[in-house]
Every structure is written in structure tokens, then in C-alpha cells.
Amino acid sequence: MLFISTLATLALALPATAAPQPIAKRDLSDLPLTAQLRLAETATERYKLLPNDSDFVYDFNKDGVVATNQNWPALTGVGASFSMGALPACGMAFLHLHPRATELFSLHSGRVLSEMIPESVTDADGAQRKVKVELTAGMVTLYPQGSFHTQVNPDCEPANFTAAFTAEEFSAGLVAGQLFGFSDGVLENTFGGSVEGEDIERLRGSIPESALVLVEECLAKCGKEKRAM
């Protein structure tokens, strides 16, 4: 009886359980479309945010050479982005890396010499691993996330390519520009004192602003003049 009495006392002391209340949905219309797509709880809600068939098409002819979720919202949640372009005759993509994505680089016409250095990887002799390949039409190469890489078109005609990335916003870092963004003292010590202040400033000032440069030897072979990119 004492046990039953105790249970009754506890039951009276506890507040009555409130009836379940529906959770009010927040109005997300003031958020960017990409944010709305990320917060969509169902596929039905997602497709309502992309009501037009044209929302699922990206036109490289007029919308730009790089498609990310920022300029093609339908990519939101897909985990990929895409690029299409041409490496001009005698052109070299400036040494760069993609800190947020792996790249699949596919060649559709022409020829490209590719070099890639993977991050923190050595070969059997303990030296830095390098991957150098020659691509022709119908071939694809892989640049793992964070790897340093470049492509060179050694011929007199453009080389057309597409590139797929394993992130909706892959980002690109130009190695020389980022390196010489450090102070002179840091760079002097990094190079073991072999480069002094005035040399650092000269090198810093000679870094091209463009992500693309022209190869002098190729220009001579093709009878082309060097021009600003």
C-alpha cells in the first residue's frame, strides 16, 4: 500500500503532459536558393525550388566556363562541379591546386602535357613523387585534392577539354601568387637565404596576373608572337 501511495503522490506532483503541437515551418524564402535547397527536407520540396526544366541545364556558351552551385543552383547537394574550355596554342595553365576537390581532366582534341605532384607522397627512393603524362583526345587524368598540377599545350592548335570536380565549389589556388604573398623574411628563410629581399621583390612583381601563360619555345615553333593573355 505504501508503494501504491507513493506512486500516486508522484503522479499528482508531475505536470500534465501537453498535447503534441505541430512544428511551425520557417519561411526560407529570404535565404539564397542554394541555402533553401540544402534545407529542403524532401525531394518534392527540392524540385519545387527548381520548377523549370531549364533549371537543370547549364549553357557553357553563355553562362561561363565553370559551373558550380553558385551559378548553377541545381548542383547544390550533388557534390560536383564542372568546367569546359580550351587551352590555347602554346598555353600553359599556371601551377595551381584545388584545396577542396579532386579533378578529372579529360581531353577532347589536341595534345596536353600534364605534370602533377601529389601532396606528401614520396617514391621508392624517398624522393618527391611526380606524375608526368601526355594526353591526347579521348584520355583523362586525375589530380587528387590538394595536388600541385599544370597542363601545357605544346602544339599550334587549341586543346579542348572538360574537367569534373568532386565538390560543388572546388576553388583554385595559384601556387606562385600564394607563396609570394608571404613576407620577405619568411621567404628568405624558406629558400635558405639563397634569395634576398630585392630578388624576392623582382620575382613577386614578375608573377603573371593571369592563370595562363605562353611557352616561348612553342611560340617560336609555331611562328606566333607572344601576347598578353
What string of DSSP letters covers 165-206?
Answer: ESSSS---EEHHHHHTTS-HHHHHHHTTT-S-HHHHHHHHHH
Residue 87 burial by CB count (10 A; 0-12/13-18/19+): exposed, middle or buried?
A: buried
CATH homologous superfamily of domain 85-172+211-222? Jelly Rolls (2.60.120.10)
Consecutive sets of 10 residues in the chain, 229 residues long: mean pLDDT of each? 51 56 65 94 95 97 94 96 96 94 98 94 89 98 96 97 95 90 91 84 84 88 75
**Which residues are registered as beta bridge partners of 117?**
148
Question: pLDDT digits over 166-225, tens only?
Answer: 999 888 999 998 898 999 999 999 888 888 878 888 888 888 777 788 898 899 999 887
pTM listed for this prediction: 0.80
CA distance 147 to 124: 19
Helix (H, G, I), strand (E, B) or coil at 55: helix
User: What are the boundaries of each domain within the chain?
Assistant: 85-172+211-222
